[in-house]
Amino acid sequence: MTSPEPPIRPQLAVSGVIFREGKVLLVRRARSPGKGFYSLPGGRVEFGESLHTALHREVDEETGLRIEILGLAGWREVLPTDPGTGHYLIMSFAARWASREPVLNDEHDDFKWLRPEEIGDLKVTGGLHEVIAAARRLV
């Protein structure tokens, strides 16, 4: 089996700022890209899939949670920094926890429910603080 060719176009992705009792769910990436960094659950949008459907699917696959999507909080572009790294346009949505407790898949090795002001010096992905602040305005 040969490794897939790196994408030649930007890829569309979604992420969710999931609020529960004033806290946000952060998940720590277990592998590259971003191994060891806390981030938001989410991932690539599949062809023919709406952004909301993709977010519900990704959150379910990564955490097992059910959510209510509140609205678009913002977007972030991640440009390739090294050969073979991706170019992503990430649409980030504010969401509210609806049911279930987190059960992580193999993409993540830890999670935390934190108030935004408690994130402090935690190792987080770029733009995380800004998207959480934007999402907070929609809750």
The amino acid occupying position 123 is: K
- The predicted-structure confidence for 5-36, as pLDDT tens digits, reads as follows 667 899 999 999 999 999 999 999 999 878 99
Does residue 57 lie within any of the structural domains?
yes
- The predicted-structure confidence for 53-63, as pLDDT tens digits, reads as follows 999 999 999 99
Domain count, the chain: 1
Cα–Cα distance for residue pair 53/58, rounded to 1 Å: 9
Does residue 87 lie within any of the structural domains?
yes
Does residue 3 lie within any of the structural domains?
no
Lowest mean pLDDT segment, chosen from 14-18, 54-58, 78-82, 121-125: 78-82
Does residue 26 lie within any of the structural domains?
yes
* pTM to 2 decimal places: 0.93
Does residue 96 lie within any of the structural domains?
yes
Query: What pLDDT, on the 0 to 100 scale, is given for residue 80?
Result: 85
Does residue 4 lie within any of the structural domains?
no
The residue segments making up the domain with residue 108 are 11-137
Q: How far apart are the first and last CA of the chain?
A: 46
| Segment 62-86 mean pLDDT | 92
Q: Which residue has the tokens 């209510």?
A: 68
Does residue 59 lie within any of the structural domains?
yes
Using an 8 Å Cβ cutoff, are 15 and 94 in contact? no
Does residue 2 lie within any of the structural domains?
no
Q: Residue 58 sits in a domain of what CATH number?
A: 3.90.79.10
